[in-house]
Chains A and B, each alone.
Chain A
């Protein structure tokens, strides 16, 4: 099956610093990638949808300037959490589809961010 990787898997940073999370589709070209955030014991919350070569579409309530998303190629999307604060600590998950809105999403393993 299709494989999506994320790097890093875990990151601990100081408050005020920026953290970049990479999401890669390893064996297929991902026309669309999604970024989710999950709080403990809660469902996934969609943050934004990114299509290769265009600006990401952010969900209501998600700060564009705080969560920068770049989908530079068909196999790579990055999420940068700028000026991270403890409340940004969460589990960030990306997913990717090969094409078409109904196409199954393949999820990355997730990145656990802890901001001290």
Chain B
């Protein structure tokens, strides 16, 4: 079957760094996305990884290891506005998006 695991909730301090991990099991793989979703709003695209390695985009970086079925989203210099849910999503062999339930990130002053 296909499955995604990510922590339900994490707490971090403003200005700090936080890493949100995601593991997945799939029979086919066409890339992994990270989305940010604020409460009551639609998700917004953060990153897309299809090859192993680290993709850096400003304060956000995403890492992928296909052999380990593992990805993480790294957020630096945390700001209060980063409080949101972060969704790990992979695209399977049929190009369907399989969504994780999301990690709720709480930023404290």
Contacts and interface: CB of A to CB of B under 8 A. Distances in A.
Interface string B41-83: 1111100101000000000000000000000000000000000
Interface in B7-47: 30-31, 33, 40-45
Given A42-B101, A43-B101, A101-B30, A106 B45 contact: yes
B48 to A, nearest CB: 6
B108 to A, nearest CB: 21
Nearest to B99: A43
A102 B30 contact: yes
Interface of B: 30-31, 33, 40-45, 48, 50, 87, 91, 95-97, 99-102
Given A34-B97, A104-B48, A110-B42, 4 more contacts: A101-B30, A102-B31, A104-B33, A109-B42
Interface of A: 34, 42-46, 91, 93, 95, 101-102, 104-110, 112
